[in-house]
Amino acid sequence: MPRFYARRPFGLAAAATALISAATLFNAPTASAALPTPVSGATARSYLATLTVAAENRTGYNRDLFPHWITQSGTCNTREVVLKRDGTNVQQDSSCAATSGSWYSPYDGATWTAASDLDIDHLVPLAEAWDSGAGSWTTSRRQSFANDLTRPQLIAVTDNVNQAKGDQDPATWMPSRSDYRCTYVRAWVQVKYYYGLSVDPAEKSALQNHLASC
């Protein structure tokens, strides 16, 4: 059963509306994030075996070195495109902002009905990418990485879950939903492989352990 949350205080009328909306959602199909399908477990294991193992180096990192949420088409930026892709019955206004819909966060199993409760997670965090090779990239390549809609790199998830994840790799952070972990590590390895990023020893060991059961 999906979990539904309300974070902000409501007046009486708003509370009644929220209850009706929640009842409707419980009877509706569960929204599910549409992360591009990662490679198979076998392919991820073969990719992982080829990745360079190296210590990480954060010297010089600045999030602004990865231009993100660029315009994708019309008035829609990357965040808005992912919110539309990953939600159900998403309605957008003339500036492309999501005004209604529902979103299922596969990391923690929560369902939200306000776009403000969602972050767009860089599955391989920007700082992690910098640590493992992106520091030597051009700004253009870092922009492509930060806005990649083709690889399984961007996904709408509960905001405070994403914030708790921060820049951690699978050695220290994994989704709380154990049945999503295989998808998560397959996606992680695919992104690192595509962009030629390294892994540190603890990260590689954690990935090997999780992929063994995928």
72 has a pLDDT exceeding 80: yes
Whether residue 123 contacts residue 207, with contact meaning beta carbons closer than 8 Å, is answered with no
Report pLDDT digits (tens) over 87-131.
Answer: 999 999 999 999 999 999 999 999 999 999 999 999 999 999 999
Q: Mean pLDDT over residues 18-34, rounded?
A: 40
The stretch 138-159 carries a mean pLDDT of 98
Is the pLDDT score of 18 beyond 70?
no
Phi-psi region of 192 (alpha: psi -120 to 50; beta: other; left: phi over 0): alpha
* Residues 142, 65 contacting (CB under 8 angstroms): yes
Report d(CA 201, CA 199) in Å as an integer: 7
* Better pLDDT: 177 or 5: 177
The pLDDT value recorded for residue 16 is 36
pLDDT in tens, 160-193: 999 999 999 999 999 999 999 999 999 999 999 9
Give the model's pLDDT for residue 33. Answer: 56
For the cut 60, the answer to whether the pLDDT of residue 27 exceeds it is no
Who's near 121: CB < 8 A, 6+ residues apart? 107, 154, 155, 156, 157, 162, 165
Predicted confidence at residue 34, as pLDDT, reads 79
Q: Is the pLDDT of residue 10 over 70?
A: no
The whole-angstrom separation of Cα 110 and Cα 123 is: 18
